[in-house]
Structure 1
Amino acid sequence: MKPAAPFDAAQDLADAPRTGGGQKPKDAATLILTRGGDRPEVLMGRRAPGHVFMASKWVFPGGRIDRSDFTAASCGELSSDVARRLEAEMPARRARALALTAVRETFEETGLILGRPAPPASVAGPWREYRQAGALPDLSVLSYIARAITPPGRTRRFDARFFMAPVEALRDPDRIEGSGELDEIAWLPLDEARALDLPAITRFVLGEMAERLTHPDRPLPFVRMVRGQHVVEHRD
């Protein structure tokens, strides 16, 4: 199975130059939100210039897993297909936590709530504002579409899982309230998104996302570096 577009290994190395060190990748999750039919759009944000990692690049909302994601409540669980793919890589508890990471990080960075109405609840930690807004995450709407590990020796390393969901899963898709981590957030047609300053992995996953809108059963790509070379594997 060939990827939707070639992965630009040279650009990936330029996006985050090697600085040395032996950091282990940290689990992270990203959420790709889509809307529109004939002319699909995707939600993206530009990272603020002061970031150590991928400064000023356009990316999808996301971030690393938090301890609270393992115990956060939800009103809908992962579909059997998504759970199967994730649990081939990790225990079920961690798979669910990573899906919740994608929902939480998207809320923190954009203010958008992927979930269903629920009585406001008082909880401690990173989920506090989400739950106070009167919602519970609905993981059943998520598709798992890609995985990528940052090459060794970078200032930040992530083992990132990319999830996708339609705009209909959002409670109020027009209420975007950025936290400042992304200094610009916008719904963009795919051709406009491709013209932005994107990290290589974001550009690659954007291509995968576009293909999945019409071919949702595509094998899942896994991008990583093996013995100094980028490798893209596809898994059913």
Structure 2
Amino acid sequence: MGAAHARLRAGTAWFGSRVSLRGPAETPNAQGTNAPPAPSYHPSQRRPHDAASLILVSHEDSGPRVLMGRRNMAMRFLPGIYVFPGGRVERTDSGIELAHGLPAHVQQKLTNGAPRLSLQRAQALAAAAIRETAEETGLFLGVRGEWKRRRIPPSWSAFAGESVVPDLSGLALIARAVTPTGLPRRYDTRFFAADAASVAARGELPAGPDAELDDLRWLTREETDELDLLPITRVILEELFRRIEAGISRDLPVPFFRFRAGRMRRDEI
């Protein structure tokens, strides 16, 4: 299998053959008509950015529901796709004030992964998932209280304004997934889950063209089948619901998804 074909196969398995990696902007094609530009696969071997995602789970009489949102149609990358809140880890996610740290088994799985992470970096991953969730959904996870530190990073000022101190103790690690090489954007994402009861405050819901997510929904397992999702998102959902049935807070093996020779490989942490 040629390298270019392996990259295309990996990208299709990850993003799906129907998914456009770019937004609605159109450019003339060879025939002079307007058509969406084709995805650009290139042999980039750059190290993926650390990222984190948070799956909020609401337990209701009808069964568990998960919070998902649709990526704004104006976005250049993966518009219209339903995802969990999340994004890249920022420098200011390290060393922030916490009400409580990670559960011991979650901390162990994060720090003993490959490559090995420091405790501070592991906590930054979990904190980033909470921060991104607040930015994209207006939901602040943590406990009510005043921040003791005087210098608060701007990216965390909304938490201080809501008098919410982030709390990592209720987070479960569901999966880790690394985007294949040769794609426009690469991420090493840790997927966390938390009970919706951990939401301490509800701020203003982001709206308008600058909002990353719209059409936020609490969805049952069956309802997610009707959405436009990335293949990897469906895989993570299956892992999530299996964990819910087994006991989401239990210390269980965590799947690690990555590509080798154009095929997705599933290891365990």
Same fold (TM over 0.5): yes
Show the counterpart of 1:5: none
Show the counterpart of 1:135: 164
CA distance in 1, matches of 2:260, 2:40: 15
Show the counterpart of 2:263: 229
| TM alignment of 1:197-208, pairs within 5 A | 197-208=228-239
CA distance in 2, matches of 1:41, 1:103: 18
Q: Does the aligned pair in 2 maintain the 1:32–1:42 contact within 8 Å?
A: yes
Amino acid at match of 1:142: L
Q: Does the aligned pair in 2 maintain the 1:53–1:156 contact within 8 Å?
A: no
Q: Does the aligned pair in 1 maintain the 2:162–2:201 contact within 8 Å?
A: no
CA distance in 2, matches of 1:194, 1:171: 30
Show the counterpart of 2:188: 159
Q: Does the aligned pair in 1 maintain the 2:11–2:180 contact within 8 Å?
A: no
Amino acid at match of 1:125: P
Deviations for 1:194-235, whole angstroms, at most 9, x for unmatched residues?
220001111111111111111134421111111332111123
| TM alignment of 1:118-197, pairs within 5 A | 118-119=145-146, 123-172=152-201, 177-178=205-206, 180-197=211-228
Show the counterpart of 1:100: 127
CA distance in 2, matches of 1:95, 1:182: 26
Question: Tell me, what secondary structure is at the counterpart of 1:113?
Answer: strand
Choose the corresponding residue for 2:137, options 110, 114, 120.
110
CA distance in 2, matches of 1:154, 1:9: 7
Amino acid at match of 2:245: T
Cα shift at 1:110:
0.5
Q: Does 1:68 align with 2:101?
A: no
| TM alignment of 1:23-102, pairs within 5 A | 23-37=46-60, 38-89=62-113, 90-102=117-129
Cα shift at 1:18:
5.1
Deviations for 1:57-93, whole angstroms, at most 9, x for unmatched residues?
0000000000100021110110011011001021111
Cα shift at 1:172:
4.0
Name the stretch that deviates more: 199-208 or 123-132: 123-132
User: Structure 2 stretches of 5 or more lacking a match?
Assistant: 1-9, 22-38
CA distance in 1, matches of 2:235, 2:118: 27
CA distance in 2, matches of 1:128, 1:143: 25
Distance 1:149 1:18, change over 3 A: farther
Amino acid at match of 2:231: A
Amino acid at match of 1:228: G
Q: Does the aligned pair in 2 maintain the 1:9–1:230 contact within 8 Å?
A: no
Q: Does the aligned pair in 1 maintain the 2:95–2:120 contact within 8 Å?
A: no
Q: Does the aligned pair in 1 maintain the 2:164–2:201 contact within 8 Å?
A: no
User: Structure 1 stretches of 5 or more lacking a match?
Assistant: 1-7
CA distance in 2, matches of 1:159, 1:36: 29
Amino acid at match of 1:27: D
Query: Percent same amino acid among aligned pairs?
Result: 37
CA distance in 2, matches of 1:151, 1:33: 26
Find the structure with the greater CA-based Rg.
Answer: 2
Amino acid at match of 2:238: G
Cα shift at 1:176:
6.5
Cα shift at 1:131:
1.5
Cα shift at 1:124:
3.2
Question: Tell me, what secondary structure is at the counterpart of 2:245?
Answer: coil
